[in-house]
Amino acid sequence: MRTFVAVLALFVASIAPALPQPASRCSREVFPVAGQPVSVTVCGGAPDGGKTVAVTETFKNAKASFDETTSIEVLPGAAASRAVHDVSLAPLGLQYTLHMTLAYRDAAVIIEHALLLPGAVPLK
């Protein structure tokens, strides 16, 4: 009996990577800001009644981190729904604003475009 369980466990472990994995609802980008990397992670929740998706954003550099929240209105039938969000990077000790276009599609949120303000420096 123990041999059977061990063989079954090895078999399941060997095929597990081949099974489809659930889509991550988060994405991560690293942007250069004032000579230092700033990591931005965006995570989307499940659509609230099919109308909006709550988005949690985490901003991090070597010295500090902070969280922001926003939402994306889901457009019925659209391939993707988008929202624009401006975030001051002052909590990281940086006097810049990150202007982002967030996109929700396939149950995940991504940063589609990003500009650093002032100066409208394209980051993505």
pLDDT at 76: 84
Burial of 82 (0-12, 13-18, 19+ CB in 10 A): middle
| pTM of this structure | 0.76
Q: CB 38: neighbour CB atoms within 10 A? A: 22
The whole domain housing 59 covers 23-122
Would 31 be classed as within a structural domain? yes
Would 115 be classed as within a structural domain? yes
Given a contact cutoff of 8 angstroms between Cβ atoms, the answer to whether 100 and 113 are in contact is yes
CA-to-CA distance for 104 and 82, rounded, in angstroms? 6
Tell me the pLDDT of the chain (124 aa) as tens digits: 544 433 334 344 444 444 333 445 899 999 999 999 999 999 998 777 778 999 999 999 999 999 999 999 998 888 999 999 999 999 999 999 999 999 998 889 999 999 999 999 999 9
Would 45 be classed as within a structural domain? yes
Would 4 be classed as within a structural domain? no
pLDDT at 87: 97
pLDDT at 49: 76
pLDDT at 6: 39
pLDDT at 25: 81
> If we measure between CA atoms, which residue out of 28, 49, 50 comes closest to residue 39?
28
| DSSP 8-state secondary structure symbol assigned to residue 61 | -
Would 102 be classed as within a structural domain? yes
**What is the chain's alpha carbon radius of gyration, rounded to the nearest angstrom?**
19
Would 12 be classed as within a structural domain? no
**Domains contained in the chain, number:** 1
Would 44 be classed as within a structural domain? yes
pLDDT at 47: 78
pLDDT at 24: 58
Would 7 be classed as within a structural domain? no
pLDDT at 23: 43
